[in-house]
Structure 1
Amino acid sequence: MNNMIKKLLILMTVLIGFAVQAEPVYWIDVRTDAEHSAGHLEGSVNIPHGDVAKEIAAVTEDKNAEIHLYCRSGGRAGKALRTLENLGYTNVVNEGGYSKLLEESKKKE
């Protein structure tokens, strides 16, 4: 019986470890390469909005992944959002423009 309890505790510890692992959050800059090079959010991946459909799988194939999109004003991010939703991605957010996000991040500091 003692051995069975040890195995159960080990199993519970492993399962809790899996449950606690944070899911990755992806930030995608859908502006042009030149715009991205001029400035971008740290950790963001640059995929121009017209290339999102063919390049998103290189970032994540998880259709439930948390994905945040931004561009200059939100327009291209909106187009990319619709593209991703049409591909079956379910947790995509249009965060709007880069300048607004940069300003918000400075306020948090």
Structure 2
Amino acid sequence: MKVKLLSVLFLGFLSSIVSAGDAIWVDVRTAGEFQNGHLAAATNIPHGEISLLLPELSADKNAEVYLYCRSGNRAGKAKAELESMGYTNVTNVGSLAEAEALYGEMEVE
């Protein structure tokens, strides 16, 4: 319970520094997987908590949201959940390696 409360508070803080035009990168793996390595720009929201915590990060349902996990499976589930909530610009990037590659390409542009 304390972990979820801290997560909500932390995401509330992050939402104050993320503008509507910024892309949101979300690692939907477990906290342990996230600690073992993640995209620097990513926020960790396990796929089972995406519907509860992403709105705390961004209520803008048109925001660019990029999801990744180990293989793309959990990111696909999270994407479907977000789309059912009305999010319109959600991308399942696939794995961490694929997220790093795409993020790197976007930074160059």
Using structure 2 for the length normalisation, give the TM-score.
0.73
Q: In percent, how many aligned pairs have the same letter?
A: 46
Change (3 A) 1:101 1:56: closer
Measured after TM superposition, the shift of residue 58 of structure 1 is 1.4
Measured after TM superposition, the shift of residue 101 of structure 1 is 3.0
Off by >4 Å, runs of 4+ in structure 1: none
Larger Rg: 1
Report Cα offsets for 1:13-49 as digits up to 9, x if no partner.
xxxxxxxx98110000000000000000011000000
Q: In 1, Cα distance between the equivalents of 2:60 and 2:99? A: 25
Using structure 1 for the length normalisation, give the TM-score.
0.73
Measured after TM superposition, the shift of residue 57 of structure 1 is 1.2
2:51 is matched with which residue? 53
Amino acid at match of 1:40: H
Tell me how many residue pairs correspond in the alignment: 88
Tell me the C-alpha RMSD between the 2 structures.
Answer: 2.2
Which runs of no fewer than 5 residues in structure 1 stay unpaired? 1-20
* 1:21-100 aligned within 5 A: 23-100=21-98
